[in-house]
Amino acid sequence: MGLGTYENYHRAPPAMMKFGYDAPEGVEIRGRYDGEFAAILDRDALQFVAGLQREFRSRIKYAMECREEAKRSFSEGASPGFDPATRYIREGEWTCAPVPPAVADRTVEITGPAERKMIINALNSGAKVFMADFEDALSPSWENLMRGQVNLKDAVDGTITFHDKARNRVYKLNNQTAKLFVRPRGWHLPEAHILIDGEPATGCLVDFGLYFYHNHAAFRRTQGAGLGPFFYLPKMENSREAKLWNCVFEKAEKTAGIERGSIRATVLIETLPAVFQMNEILYELRDHSVGLNCGRWDYIFSYVKTFQAHRDRLLPDRVQVGMTQHFMKSYSDLLIWTCHRRGVHAMGGMAAQIPIRDDPEANNAALELVRKDKLREVRAGHDGTWAAHPGLVPVCMEVFSNNMGDTPNQIQSMKLEDASAITEEDLLQRPRGSRSLDGLRLNTRVGIQYLAAWLTGAGSVPLYNLMEDAATAEISRVQNWQWLKYGAELDGDGLGVKVNNDLFGKVVEEEMCRIEREAGKEKFRRGMYKEACKIFARQCTAPTLDDFLTLNAYNNIVIHHPTGSSSRL
Ligand SMILES: CC(=O)SCCNC(=O)CCNC(=O)[C@H](O)C(C)(C)COP(=O)(O)OP(=O)(O)OC[C@H]1O[C@@H](n2cnc3c(N)ncnc32)[C@H](O)[C@@H]1OP(=O)(O)O
Ligand SMILES: O=CC(=O)O
Ligand SMILES: [Mg+2]
């Protein structure tokens, strides 16, 4: 990743400081100056982002207050459920706008951070779609975000290239490439390097606004067959947040002078409250929707977060909370039924296994697990799935093609009527399994290493042959927190010990030694493991659960220029 490190921020040549961004009235750019960034952050683009911010800031604030209110009520003992007030939407007969022909076939979607080489590799991977990520897979440093915008503009223009000097290899686009979706950050994340009327901008409006502003015309011409751009929308909890996105889209379309309904988005159902709002979310976005996706990792995280005050809902070891648990299967079945009833794609999620280069046997075992997961998805009725790595695209494609035949999707053919009977109890059923000291150790080791990578600019990393990103790291964090808070008994390995601060302190110490051994002394010294350990341990032992790991850690990657100081939000 390279560019997003602390050293690089501080190494910014002083000469650059004398330049400044040409910002409109009320907009202040506090991120490092760079000529390429300035082409993205031009006056008109910033005006466009500021327009979105000014029009929607009070509604965003209200939506976040509603999240707090819901949290309070869950913490007082309530459980999420279907809203009686919107029964008419769930029971009504309506459909979303027809699927755009350009993305009728989404059998395999590869995902990855909006990094230059990754973008080219992903677009060339043979997948039907590439989702460029500003969320779970990207550490939202100024450098990563702005480079991401530069890269995506070049990708949409078709001019993106990358020269790997060390390997003397030049990367460029094939003739046939995947269709591009972009995932902006969630509503909760601020962008502290852009102040609008003195306040940090909303991260997702910056990501969406800059990308839309610079690319909508080229995208619709070259990729979307007249429609687009296409987006993935993360981490929503309620249809009011979907309504907000719908209004943002309408304003963007109006400002750009393009037809209403041009922009299309797939919403990730990855919070527990949102599973009860799937019809409502699609309804709000019905002119702009192109489906829902099972964001399984954040969904598990959200299960713990939603029930943080319910001591009778402790999760078993993270590895045991898979898609075959009743509550996960019910969620995926209900999502498929809902999407097909409304005429849109029901996308599957990501298996965490990645190819293992130096061990053929382990590699085959990993591919087999991916194959099994994809087979479950396609048989259940999903229209496509996510791949974490180009090496997994052929496996995923084979499973979906073999089971779907010649059709680009199963929207019409898989109605899954049985799923209409899924109840609140099905969706909330406690996951089954056991807890172990090994589970506590793994959470700790993975959480610290992920956070250390994130602090130095890498938002998705391979750890112990699995893909780890912000969502999977969240599971490690909240699971530790929950076990500590309620003194969970670790019975899975026959030890029967209870988790407490002393045990956790020992585990942290021992796992840090293991990390140092595995990383090597030099890498460990140069890395940010100690800082990560401090943040992670503090979050796991906090009396009140922090809402998001990345929100809490964000101040550590905010670097204001020209002073070079970091700021407290
Ligand atoms: C919970 C969720 O939100 S899931 C969605 C968010 N998460 C993601 O998108 C994760 C995406 N995947 C990745 O980031 C990476 O695959 C990782 C970090 C898991 C593993 O990365 P690495 O260890 O670097 O992979 P590896 O060394 O095997 O890469 C081999 C090649 O494939 C490329 N590659 C790996 N993953 C991807 C990807 N997702 N997209 C494009 N190219 C990729 C590498 O750039 C490398 O290219 P090169 O041979 O030209 O140099
Ligand atoms: O974004 C996807 C997830 O699983 O979380
Ligand atoms: Mg997610």
pLDDT category, 9, cuts 50, 70, 90? very low
DSSP helix/strand/coil, 189: coil
- pLDDT for res 10: 35
- pLDDT for res 492: 84
Q: Is the pLDDT of residue 568 over 60?
A: no
In this structure, the residue with its CA closest to atom 22 of ligand 1 is 462
Is the beta carbon of 270 within 6 A of some atom in ligand 2? yes
- Nearest-5° angle of CA 95, CA 399, CA 281? 25
pLDDT tens digit sequence for 157-167: 999 999 999 99
- Cα of 496 to ligand 3 centre, how many Å? 33
Percent of the chain with pLDDT over 70: 95
Q: Is the pLDDT of residue 18 over 80?
A: no
Is the beta carbon of 316 within 6 A of some atom in ligand 2? no
pLDDT category, 333, cuts 50, 70, 90? very high
Average pLDDT over residues 182-209: 98
Name the pTM for this structure: 0.95
Percent of the chain with pLDDT over 90: 92
Q: Which long-range contacts (CB under 8 A, 24 or more apart) does 453-456 make?
A: 453/139, 454/139, 454/532, 454/550, 454/553, 454/557, 455/139, 455/528, 455/531, 455/532, 455/553, 455/556, 455/557, 456/1, 456/4, 456/5, 456/6, 456/139, 456/527, 456/528
Distance CA 547, CA 150 (A): 31
In this structure, the residue with its CA closest to atom 2 of ligand 2 is 295
Is the beta carbon of 297 within 6 A of some atom in ligand 2? yes
C-alpha dihedral over 541, 545, 546, 547, to 10 degrees?
A: 150
pLDDT tens digit sequence for 421-472: 999 999 999 999 999 999 999 999 999 999 999 999 999 999 999 999 999 9
CA distances 340 to 75, 99, 356, 416, Å, are 34, 11, 36, 9
- pLDDT for res 415: 79
Q: Is the pLDDT of residue 3 over 70?
A: no
Average pLDDT over residues 487-496: 88
Distance CA 70, CA 30 (A): 34
Q: Is the pLDDT of residue 569 over 50?
A: no
Is the beta carbon of 296 within 6 A of some atom in ligand 2? yes
- pLDDT for res 414: 80
> Which one of the ligands is nearest to 299 CA?
2
Name the more confident of 135 and 569.
135
> Which one of the ligands is nearest to 294 CA?
2
Per the listing, tokens 């590699």 go with: 363
Residue of 1, 110, 116, 121 best suited for mutating to test ligand 1, as the one with most atoms within 8 Å of CB: 121
Give the dihedral sign, CA 332/243/220/191: negative
- pLDDT for res 406: 87
Is the beta carbon of 298 within 6 A of some atom in ligand 2? yes
DSSP helix/strand/coil, 77: coil
pLDDT category, 16, cuts 50, 70, 90? very low
- Cα of 140 to ligand 1 centre, how many Å? 17
pLDDT category, 140, cuts 50, 70, 90? very high
- Cα of 457 to ligand 1 centre, how many Å? 15
Is the beta carbon of 237 within 6 A of some atom in ligand 2? no
- Cα of 397 to ligand 1 centre, how many Å? 17
Which tokens is 491 given? 């019975």
pLDDT tens digit sequence for 269-324: 999 999 999 999 999 999 999 999 999 999 999 999 999 999 999 999 999 999 99
DSSP helix/strand/coil, 2: coil
pLDDT tens digit sequence for 371-421: 999 999 999 999 999 999 999 999 999 999 999 988 999 999 987 788 889
Q: Is the pLDDT of residue 13 over 50?
A: no
Q: Is the pLDDT of residue 528 over 60?
A: yes
- Cα of 425 to ligand 1 centre, how many Å? 37
Residue 164 zone, left/alpha/beta (φ > 0; ψ -120 to 50; rest)? beta
Helices 239-256 and 43-75, axial angle in degrees (round to 10): 170
- pLDDT for res 469: 98
Residues 6 or more apart whose CB falls under 8 angstroms from that of 262 comprise 216, 220, 224, 226, 227, 228, 253
Give the dihedral sign, CA 458/442/375/391: positive
Residue of 128, 301, 467 best suited for mutating to test ligand 1, as the one with most atoms within 8 Å of CB: 467
The length of the chain is 569
Average pLDDT over residues 202-222: 98
Q: Is the pLDDT of residue 565 over 60?
A: no
Q: Which atom of ligand 2 is nearest to the CA of 296?
A: 4
Residues 477 and 485: beta-carbon distance below 8 Å = no
pLDDT category, 563, cuts 50, 70, 90? low
> Which one of the ligands is nearest to 472 CA?
1
pLDDT tens digit sequence for 34-61: 999 999 999 999 999 999 999 999 999 9
- Cα of 389 to ligand 1 centre, how many Å? 5
Average per-residue pLDDT for the chain: 94
- pLDDT for res 19: 61
In this structure, the residue with its CA closest to atom 8 of ligand 1 is 112
Residues 6 or more apart whose CB falls under 8 angstroms from that of 181 comprise 109, 129, 130, 131, 132, 230, 231, 232, 266
Could you tell me if the ipTM is greater than 0.95? Answer: yes
Q: Which atom of ligand 1 is nearest to the CA of 349?
A: 4
Buried b (16+ CB within 10 A) or exposed e, 69-102: ebbeebeeeebbebeeebeebbeeeeebbebbeb
- Cα of 430 to ligand 2 centre, how many Å? 20
- Which one, of 206, 11, 193, 202, lies nearest residue 566 by Cα? 193
Distance CA 146, CA 32 (A): 10
pLDDT category, 2, cuts 50, 70, 90? very low
Ligand 1: residues whose CB is within 6 Å? 110-112, 117-118, 121-122, 133, 136-137, 297, 350, 354-355, 388-390, 460-462, 467, 469, 471
- pLDDT for res 566: 41
Residues 6 or more apart whose CB falls under 8 angstroms from that of 507 comprise 437, 440, 441, 444
Average pLDDT over residues 254-264: 98
| Active site members | 183, 469
- Cα of 67 to ligand 3 centre, how many Å? 17
In this structure, the residue with its CA closest to atom 11 of ligand 1 is 112
Q: Which atom of ligand 1 is nearest to the CA of 467?
A: 19
- Which one, of 185, 167, 210, lies nearest residue 29 by Cα? 210
Radius of gyration (Cα) for the chain, nearest Å? 23
Name the more confident of 495 and 279.
279
Q: Which atom of ligand 2 is nearest to the CA of 349?
A: 4
